[in-house]
Amino acid sequence: MSRTLVAVALSLSAIACTPSPSPSPPPRSELDARRAELGRVTVAFTAPEGCQQLGNVFAQDHNVFVERATEAARMRMQLRALELGANYVQAPPAQLIYGAYGPTGAMMQGVAYRCPAQPATPPTAATTTPPPAVAEAVPAPVVTTAR
């Protein structure tokens, strides 16, 4: 009986120690496949002027690598904005989602807008504002003492 148990235990440990075949690489996600489209949606903190508000957009991603989760949440939000026909999203920075052992993902929410196309020709010199004048720096006086 004990020999049988030892034999079973040895065979199970040999099976458990055998390396499993490496998994095949995951297929390209929808985000990677549509990355070129996402460039048409600008994400910024400020609200645009002269644009039509289309609605709120929300997205989240769960990944322990915060940078990846933040990027994926932003990209998902841009996809939702594209579905609404938007080309601009006003949104604050991503917020982290926390679990029992630290960050587990990120979420973003914003407002989607459809803005008119930017003019094809650059603005003329008459319409641009000159940069603000910079005050000249005055060197500090050098104080010497005689010994």
125, exposed or middle or buried, with CB in 10 Å at 0-12, 13-18, 19+? Answer: exposed
pLDDT tens-digit series, residues 39-51: 889 999 998 899 9
Coil, strand, or helix at residue 108? strand
Listed residue (34, 117, 32, 45) closest to 83, CA to CA = 34
Backbone CA torsion sign across 54, 55, 56, 61: negative
DSSP string, 58-85: EEEEE-SSHHHHHHHHHHHHHHHHHHHT
Residue 98: predicted pLDDT: 93
Tokens describing residue 132 = 């603000």
Residue 79 CB coordination number (10 Å)? 17
- Give the pLDDT of the chain (147 residues) as one tens digit per residue: 566 655 555 555 555 454 444 343 333 466 677 777 888 899 999 988 999 999 999 999 988 888 999 999 999 999 999 999 999 999 999 999 999 999 999 999 999 999 997 533 334 444 444 445 444 555 555 556 665
pLDDT tens-digit series, residues 18-43: 444 434 333 346 667 777 788 889 99
What percent of the chain has a predicted confidence (pLDDT) above 90?
A: 44
- Yes or no: say if 35 and 88 are a contact pair by the CB < 8 Å rule: no
